[in-house]
């Protein structure tokens, strides 16, 4: 069973990495057509659900109660992820002539989105705890963290860092 889990973890990382690489090869998320971008997101989300399913090993009763709540949770987390993606797209499209004001605005939006993400996870914790044992809930959140880390790592490779030596445009 451990080999199956490892295989799925590697497969998920490959899917996520290849999706980010395809976006980067085309010049970032802004140059990927909207329908292709949605297909990539849908593929990642479907693989994520399969990864969770294999790694949680829920009983039939647990699964009956878990999956509807998981789908609701993913809907909220995905909306938050879409918000972060929009901020990243805004940043990358304004990167070369990023003003101090725009940089501050983007950081404020990003930190607000991160706080919202944590709040969603905190809100769902007691709901998951009502239907699953504590260790299973902890495992679920660990899986979520691992998948987030893979996505964030790949995304970090495609986002240029602000060049502080470059003079910000005057407003």
Question: How far is residue 166's CA from residue 67's CA, in Å, rounded to a whole number?
Answer: 49
Q: Which residues of 44-65 are buried (b: 16+ CB within 10 A; e: fewer)?
A: beebbeebbeebbebeeeeeee
Residues 6+ apart with CB under 8 A from 106: 87, 90, 91, 94
What pLDDT is stored for residue 36 in this prediction?
66
What pLDDT is stored for residue 27 in this prediction?
46
What pLDDT is stored for residue 8 in this prediction?
47
What pLDDT is stored for residue 22 in this prediction?
43
Question: How far is residue 70's CA from residue 171's CA, in Å, rounded to a whole number?
Answer: 46
Question: How far is residue 112's CA from residue 114's CA, in Å, rounded to a whole number?
Answer: 5
Question: How far is residue 66's CA from residue 60's CA, in Å, rounded to a whole number?
Answer: 10
**134-158 and 34-56 helices cross at what angle (nearest 10)?**
150
Q: Where on the phi/psi map is residue 15: left (φ > 0), alpha (ψ -120 to 50), or beta? A: alpha
Please state the separation of Cα 1 from the chain's center in Å.
26
pTM of the model: 0.73
Mean pLDDT by 10 residues, the chain (171 residues): 47 48 44 62 76 93 97 94 90 88 94 96 98 97 90 84 69 55
Residues 6+ apart with CB under 8 A from 120: 73, 76, 77, 80
Question: How far is residue 19's CA from residue 14's CA, in Å, rounded to a whole number?
Answer: 8
């Amino acid at each position: 069973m451990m080999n199956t889990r490892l295989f799925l973890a590697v497969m998920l990382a490959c899917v996520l990495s290849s999706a980010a690489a395809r976006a980067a090869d085309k010049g970032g998320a802004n140059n990927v057509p909207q329908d292709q971008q949605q297909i990539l997101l849908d593929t990642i989300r479907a693989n994520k659900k399969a990864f969770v399913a294999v790694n949680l090993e829920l009983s039939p009763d647990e699964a009956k109660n878990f999956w509807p709540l998981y789908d609701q949770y993913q809907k909220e987390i995905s909306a938050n992820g879409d918000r972060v993606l929009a901020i990243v797209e805004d940043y990358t499209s304004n990167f070369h002539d990023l003003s101090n004001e725009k940089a501050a605005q983007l950081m404020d939006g990003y930190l607000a989105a991160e706080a919202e993400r944590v709040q969603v996870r905190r809100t769902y914790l007691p709901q998951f705890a009502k239907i699953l044992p504590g260790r299973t809930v902890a495992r679920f959140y660990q899986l979520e963290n691992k998948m987030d880390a893979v996505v964030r790592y790949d995304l970090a490779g495609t986002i240029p860092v602000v060049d502080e030596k470059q003079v910000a445009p005057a407003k």
